[in-house]
Each structure stands twice: as structure tokens, then as C-alpha cells.
Structure 1
Amino acid sequence: MKFSANDQLARLPLPPTGKWKEGVWDVEAFARGDLSLLFFAPKGKDYQSPHDQDELYLVIRGTGTLRIGEVYHPFEPGDVLFVAAGEDHRFEEFSDDFACWAVFWGPKLREGDLAR
């Protein structure tokens, strides 16, 4: 099975929501069991909140900084970033062309669980 970043980018943005007023800039490309693959290409601001599964970001284009808790991680194409389930994180100061794959997997945290 193959997934194309260009095909996923053509699906964006999804309609605005209360949280993502400029439109939703992530789209699920694949899901199976507890694994899901999303394409994420935010514009302007990243409104993420902590997720209930571990997550890998595979940066395919653009540059910026990922804040995980109080630690800042600069990134560029080819970098892979890990965020544990429940961790507060957000992309900050990212370029207009920023895009990445996001892979979620593993058991889901229950409401109230702390990050591992």
C-alpha cells in the first residue's frame, strides 16, 4: 500500500471547526487496529492538544520548532520527532510549506492518565 503526500495535501483543508477556525489541516490517510497515519500541514497556527496515543512526526518539508512540554526541538525535512501520549506539544514558528506524516499507535490513555 502506498500513500502520497501530494494526494493528501490535495484533500486539505477540511472545513473549519470551533477549534480550527481557518480549516482543519490534517487528514487521516490510513488506519488499522490501533495504528493510524495522518498527513498534517498546518497553516498559521497549530491548535493541537495532547493525544491519547504515542505519536511520531516524520517531517517531509519545511522547518520550524516543536515544543514538547517546555523543551523546544528545531526540525527540518527528514527529521523524526516523538511525542508520548498525553504530552502537551505544539508546532511553533514553522514555515509556510511545513508538512509531515503523523503516526499514532499503541494503547490509548484513559482520561486523567498522565504522560508516560
Structure 2
Amino acid sequence: MHIPQEDLQDKLEATATDSVGLIDTETMTIGLKRYSKDAAKKKGSRKHTEDELYHIIGGAGRITVGDEVYSVTSGDLVYIEQGESHDIIEIHDELTVLKILTDKSAFN
């Protein structure tokens, strides 16, 4: 499967929600999510049972992972280990994130 970058944004624009699923297999889930400035106030800290990778494809903001705070902008990658607390705490511009969740145990 190949999805050109310009098609990613088109897929998100074509949906009535702020997210769209792209790939969902037994070992991996990939989706595109758009966060408005207000989303940082509503999201709250969370944990997942899978490892997670954020690829920031648009906008800028700040994300916490555990005790660390990262300023992020387009092109950045953020790795969140399984069970690690994380949150989007500030959004400077609308933030668009390609989210990849994977279960390492499925590869053993």
C-alpha cells in the first residue's frame, strides 16, 4: 500500500470528524488525527497498551511523555513506549498527527 502525503490531508478533509483510520491490522494501527487549539484543554493524559509513534505532519505544539515536555513542529517524531503517560498540552497551530500504534509482542 502507498499513500502519498497529499492524499493523507485529502482523506482527513473528506471526513466529518477530526480523525481517519488508514491501516488496521493485527499488529499495527495507523490513523491521521487533527487537533484544534481547544483540544489540548480537553484531551488529558492517557496511556496505551501498545507502543505509539507520532509523526507531526502539520502545525506546532507541546507534548508530554512521562516527565518530559517536547516542543513539536511539522516533521518531528515522538515515540511513546507502551504504558507511558502522554498528553498534548499546548497547540500553537492546528496540529495534524500521523499516529502509529503497534504491539511489539505480535512480532515475537
Q: Shared fold by TM > 0.5? A: yes
Q: CA RMSD in A?
A: 1.8
Which structure dedicates a bigger proportion of its chain to helix? Answer: 2
Task: Flag the 1:6–1:82 CA change in 2: closer, same or farther, 3 A.
Answer: same
Which structure dedicates a bigger proportion of its chain to strand? Answer: 2
**SS of structure 2 residue aligned to 1:41:** strand
Task: Flag the 1:26–1:50 CA change in 2: closer, same or farther, 3 A.
Answer: farther
The 5 Å alignment of 1:34-113 reads 34-43=27-36, 44-46=38-40, 47=43, 49-107=46-104
Name 2:10's counterpart in structure 1. 6
Question: What's the CA shift for 1:2?
Answer: 3.0
Runs of 5+ in structure 2 lacking a partner?
none
Runs of 5+ in structure 1 lacking a partner?
14-24, 109-116
Higher relative contact order (CA 8 A, sep 6+): 2
CA distance in 2, matches of 1:40, 1:57: 10
User: What count of residue pairs does the alignment treat as equivalent?
Assistant: 97
Question: What's the CA shift for 1:6?
Answer: 2.2
The more displaced of 65-74 and 92-101 is 92-101
Taking only the aligned residue pairs, the percentage that are identical comes to 20
Task: Flag the 1:75–1:82 CA change in 2: closer, same or farther, 3 A.
Answer: same
Query: Deviation string for 1:9-60 (max 9, x for gaps)?
Result: 43142xxxxxxxxxxx333211122101011112212425211100000000
TM-score (norm 1): 0.73
Question: What's the CA shift for 1:68?
Answer: 0.9
Give the ranges of 4+ consecutive aligned residues of structure 1 lying more than 2 Å apart after TM superposition: none
TM-score (norm 2): 0.78
